[in-house]
Amino acid sequence: MQIEARRWPGRVVPSTDADVDVAVESLCVRASWPDADRRWVRRLLEPWFTAGWCVDALLVAIDKKPDGTRQGRPRSRAQVAHEFLRARLRTWTADGAGLAKPPLSGVSLGEWYRVNRRNAALHAPRRATDLTSDGERARAESRALAHRRDPVERSREKGRRRQEVLDSLLTPGQEVPSFADSWKLVAELVPVPRVCSACGHVRNEVSRQAHRVA
């Protein structure tokens, strides 16, 4: 799978010769080094790619040291690109014995492709499923209700549909509670104070437990 230099994934670690060429070109393009000698840059970066470094990690190493501090000023026109790159990467060698761990982890091209395809499938627009007969009828009723001009009729229709939904929640064989049933339930839960017919005094009866005498 051949990818253009401008579209090369920064987190991919190149493995083949063709991928290394594209990755080197991608780094030079992103670093704004049009005058860089690609052959010398490739010769310098081959061991870094072999050690698991990607283009994004190399760009971080060019700007920052392993402790997070900045490397220094950007490259000037008087500096040779691959010599400037060699000096910046020198701080990322593990005491001269080897290469340090990359600041950003990389993946293989095949792994990146699988993840990219999976994300594309997850974010792809889903096909609309066909509605059932009940769904078609509900949509037709909803559209008919929305196109009615009379707001009173539209409100009545909405109330009728709401009542049908509430009735469907009742236990089979049970009648719909009436207004009188609601008042009866309130009377059972809230005690009604008694009023004296002579003086009009309101007396709240509070149930008290009888004290036992030993």
Boundaries of domain holding 65: 5-120
- Asked, for residue 70, whether it belongs to a domain, the answer is yes
Is there a domain that residue 13 lies in?
Answer: yes
**Total tally of structural domains belonging to the chain:** 1
Cα distances from 145 to residues 114, 140, 149, 158, in angstroms, run 48, 8, 9, 8
Give a yes or no: residue 160 inside a domain. no
E strand residue ranges, 16-133: none
Please report where in the chains the tokens 């987190």 appear, as a residue.
11
Percent of the chain with pLDDT over 90: 36
What pLDDT was estimated at residue 196? 66
19: in domain: yes
Structure tokens at 90: 């020198």
* Residue pLDDT, tens place only, 26-68: 999 999 999 999 999 999 999 999 999 999 999 999 999 988 8
Kindly tell me if the per-residue pLDDT of 207 is higher than 70. Answer: no
Which of the two residues, 174 and 54, has the higher pLDDT score?
54
Does residue 172 lie in a domain region?
Answer: no
- Examine residue 64 and state whether it is found in any structural domain, yes or no: yes
Whether 59 is in a domain gets the answer yes
H/E segment holding residue 64: none
Please report whether residue 84 resides in a domain. Answer: yes
